[in-house]
Amino acid sequence: MKKYIVVALLCITGLVRAQEALFSGQQVSSPQVNDDKTVTFRLAAPQADTVQVTGDFLPSVKVDTPMGKVDGPGKALLTKNEEGVWTYTTSVLVPELYNYAFIVDGFKTTDPANPFLIRDVASVTNIFIVPGEQADLYRVQDVPHGTVASRWYDAKTLGFDRKISIYTPPGYETSTAEYPVLYLLHGAGGDEEAWLSLGRTAQIMDNLIAQGKAEPMLVVMPNGNVGQDAAPGAGSAGYYTPQFMTPETMNGKYEAQFKDIISFVESNYRVKADKAHRAIAGLSMGGYHSLHISRHYPNTFDYIGLFSAAIMAREDKSGAGVYDNFEETLETQKDNGYQLYWIAIGKTDFLYEANKEYRTMLDKMDMPYEYTESEGGHIWRNWRVYLSEFVPLLFQE
């Protein structure tokens, strides 16, 4: 009998400890978005010597990356109280979706009190939203919602199936209407999930359509890493560390196979399958792909968007001559006509000069385009804004 009592006590003790572990991350509230739009961060770490918070709500600093020096998040020190809780309150923040992490004695970690996380390439950070103005487009509002589907398509040109994310607008399932399509392409290190998670595409589309600022449309978000069948952890390669630049990046093969994506969409969805109802846009590497796909297939898209785009072509390994006759194919694209060629970039973006040179070339060719310039650099904060500004310009008949 005593043996069973001891076992029971051990079980109860283990249960209590498990419950303590379960609720330990909830002993502090973090982050706390205050009414005055300041934000308070807290971390219970009584044994720590220093705690910092780093995030894109802080003044940016230049950091070294494979792309060169780019804007990176700053850091701020937290202050410890007598209970061992570290605290930091920001200045007033503009409405926005922000990401952050803690640095505890030099070790970068997520906030145990905040279960909301986001992955950008191989970095995982917490997120929060300061509501109002532009940021309200990124929030789930009480409006009709579209549907996001994860599909597989036959990439015949590559010889294997690939994953693709597709947003259909509110009412698509119960309608018989045909819709226009925006093909939306991610940057280096991204995948078919990037525009949904980091770009808040579904929320932006739902809210713009509900406000009457955007035509109902499909948004097709492919994986631009031509050697992958899907995002890391979602495909046949299983779980592995995501790479910033994957093998065969930007070598022409993605552009050469892009008609397989269009064919899949137009065979499986009720869409208007003509140039006037197709748009293509992308950020960074996705802008590069949008530029070269639209000129390689020069009578396919009436709307082209380059967000902080990489510009000049690399070595072409497609076998299809994707990067041949650069200016001649742009001339053909111009002569065929289009509704909108839209270029946007931040003033401190590391690709700013390349975009400036590209616009000079377009000017010499008398190739029409619209240009917008924003503050900041090569960051998602800009790309979400660009998407929300570009979409209302599409398919206005």
Q: What residues does 183 pair with on adjacent strands?
A: 220, 280
Domains parsed from the chain with CATH numbers = 24-131 (2.60.40.10), 142-393 (3.40.50.1820)
Q: Give the type of residue at 268.
A: N
**By percentage, how much of the chain surpasses pLDDT 70?**
91
Q: Tell me the pLDDT band of 190, cut-offs 50, 70 and 90.
A: confident
Overall average pLDDT of the 161-185 stretch: 96
Q: How far is CA 387 from CA 98, 123, 200, 325, 378, in A?
A: 17, 23, 10, 30, 14
The pLDDT, as a whole number, for residue 248 is 77
**By percentage, how much of the chain surpasses pLDDT 90?**
71
Overall average pLDDT of the 84-92 stretch: 96
Overall average pLDDT of the 139-162 stretch: 93
Q: Looking at residue 39, what DSSP letter applies?
A: E
Say what the pTM is. Answer: 0.87
Judged against a pLDDT cut of 50, whether residue 22 lies above it is answered with no
Residue 159 backbone phi and psi in degrees, to 5? 90, 15
State the Cα–Cα distance between residues 274 and 278, nearest whole angstrom.
Answer: 7
How many degrees, rounded to 5, is the angle at CA 379 between CA 373 and CA 380?
A: 105
pLDDT in tens, 210-258: 999 999 999 999 998 888 877 777 777 788 777 777 777 888 889 999 9
**Phi-psi domain of 308 (left: phi exceeds 0; alpha: psi -120 through 50; beta: other):** left
